[in-house]
Amino acid sequence: MNLIEKINDHETLDILNKSNNITLKEHGNLVTLERAIFLSWWCDKGDCAFCYMSAQKPRIKEPSKARRNINSILAEAELVRRMGWNVEFLSGGYGSYSLDEIKKISGRIYDITGKPVWLNVGVIKDLEIFGEEIAGVTGAVETANHELHDKICPSKPLSDISEMLDLTGDLGFKKAITIILGLGETPEDLKYLFDLIGDLGIDRVIFYSLNPHEDTPYEKTPQPASLYYAGMVAATRIKFPKLEIITGTWIDNLANIGPLLLAGANGLTKFPLFKMFGTNNGRRVEEEVKWAGRKLEGTFTDLNYLYEVENPYPELEPFIK
Ligand code: SF4
């Protein structure tokens, strides 16, 4: 029986057992916490059916005001460093920053964290301008089924994303994609995802579950079932043992974390950091990791990590506070 049949036949425990063994063998038991840093709340495209920014677009009269203060972006990177987390990627809707600005911000974040930055800033053609400040480029694929993709994201064709990722690889950067589960795809659509990962030589996949936003066509759609989410991730892990897998979990679904770690997640993301840090929800994340037999890098609870005596970037201090 193949992996898709196993998910459809509810043999999820069987594949979780396999994916867990593969993950421990290939990646060890460390789990990272990942934080996407947003540059702006504006997106030129603004028509992806599930996206918060598409609901915001009609409300934003002056896109330049939806851009964040640069020092606030850098302060967030410094906090991420102090907590032992990773910057998942630098993210912003289409058209909110020029590539030169993105390069400069990436360089500053690289200085602060000591780690090159992943980008997720739409389809970029002039990737040649980037250098050691970036680790790789993320293509926001969302769903690998072409037909579904064209309906949900009419303005960002998969062919453009694939072309960008090809160029990314040619320039020696790593390649990532984002996938959202719960958009109407089925386990059968894994074959498109597997082809995409294999054909493009993807290094990292970031899975999210649908978060049904108000005023979008998905507002009345439930989030995907926990075992469906875990089964889809586990199948991907079994098919691609060396792939880096990050999984997103919303604050109302913390119980997904354990199964997702068994499924093959190397890192966890999508938490409202400042709302959760040091609270019972932060402690719950740590418990989920512990009971999946994993060890967390960094902290979600220890305030001592935040109060460093020396700050090499005093201009960021007001924003850090
Ligand atoms: S391109 Fe990205 S930010 Fe813009 S509407 Fe689509 S998903 Fe949202």
pLDDT in tens, 101-128: 999 999 999 999 999 999 999 999 899 9
Q: What's the average model confidence in pLDDT over 45-71?
A: 79
Short-list 246, 266, 295, CA closest to 89: 246
Give mean pLDDT, residues 19-47.
92
Give the residue whose CA is nearest to atom 5 of ligand 1: 46
Q: What pLDDT is stored for residue 137 in this prediction?
A: 98
% of the chain exceeding 70 in pLDDT: 96
State the pLDDT at residue 321. 83
pLDDT score of 57 more than 80 = no
pLDDT of residue 64: 67
Residue 244 region, left (φ>0) first, then alpha (ψ -120 to 50), else beta?
Answer: beta
Q: Measured in angstroms, how far is the CA atom of residue 20 from the centroid of ligand 1?
A: 33
Enumerate residues lining ligand 1, CB below 6 A.
Answer: 43, 45-46, 48, 51, 53-54, 93-94, 140, 153, 156
Q: Taking residues 289-309, report their average pLDDT.
A: 90
What is the average pLDDT value for the chain, to the nearest integer? Answer: 93
CB 251 within 8 A of CB 271: yes
Whether the per-residue pLDDT at 31 is higher than 90: the answer is yes
d(CA 250, CA 271): 6
Q: Which CATH number applies to 3-320?
A: 3.20.20.70
Distance, in Å, from the CA atom of 56 to the CA atom of 241, rounded to the nearest integer, reads 39
pLDDT tens-digit map of 73-88? 999 999 999 999 999 9
Between 202 and 272, name the one with better pLDDT.
202
Q: Which range, of 39-48, 119-128, 158-167, 271-280, averages the lowest pLDDT?
A: 39-48
**Ligand 1, residues 53, 119, 180, 218: which to mutate, most atoms within 8 A of Cβ?**
53
**pLDDT tens digits, 144-186:** 999 999 999 999 999 999 999 999 999 999 999 999 999 999 9
Q: Whose CA is nearest to atom 3 of ligand 1?
A: 93
Cα–Cα distance, 59 to 176 (Å, whole number): 31
Which residue in 210, 216, 183 sits closest to 57, CA to CA?
A: 216
Distance CA 288, CA 273 (A): 17
Maximum alpha-carbon separation in the chain: 59
Strand partners, 204: 176, 244
Cβ atoms of 231 and 263 within 8 Å: the answer is: yes
Nearest in space to 143 (alpha carbons), one of 198, 192, 204:
192
Q: Note the pLDDT of residue 61.
A: 67
- The 3-class secondary structure across 79-124, one letter per residue, is HHHHHCCEEEEEECCCCCCCHHHHHHHHHHHHHHHCCCEEEECCCC
> Separation of 308 CA from ligand 1 center, angstroms?
36
Substitution site in 142, 151, 156, 179 for ligand 1 pocket (most atoms within 8 Å of beta carbon): 156
Euclidean distance between CA atoms 209 and 283, whole angstroms: 22
pLDDT greater than 90 at residue 261: yes
Q: Using 50, 70 and 90 to split pLDDT, how confident is the model at 315?
A: confident
The Cα 179–Cα 269 span in angstroms is 13
Residue nearest to ligand 1 atom 2, measured at CA? 93
Count other Cβ atoms within 10 Å, centred on residue 155: 13
Residue nearest to atom 1 of ligand 1 (CA): 45
- Residue-level pLDDT at 308: 64
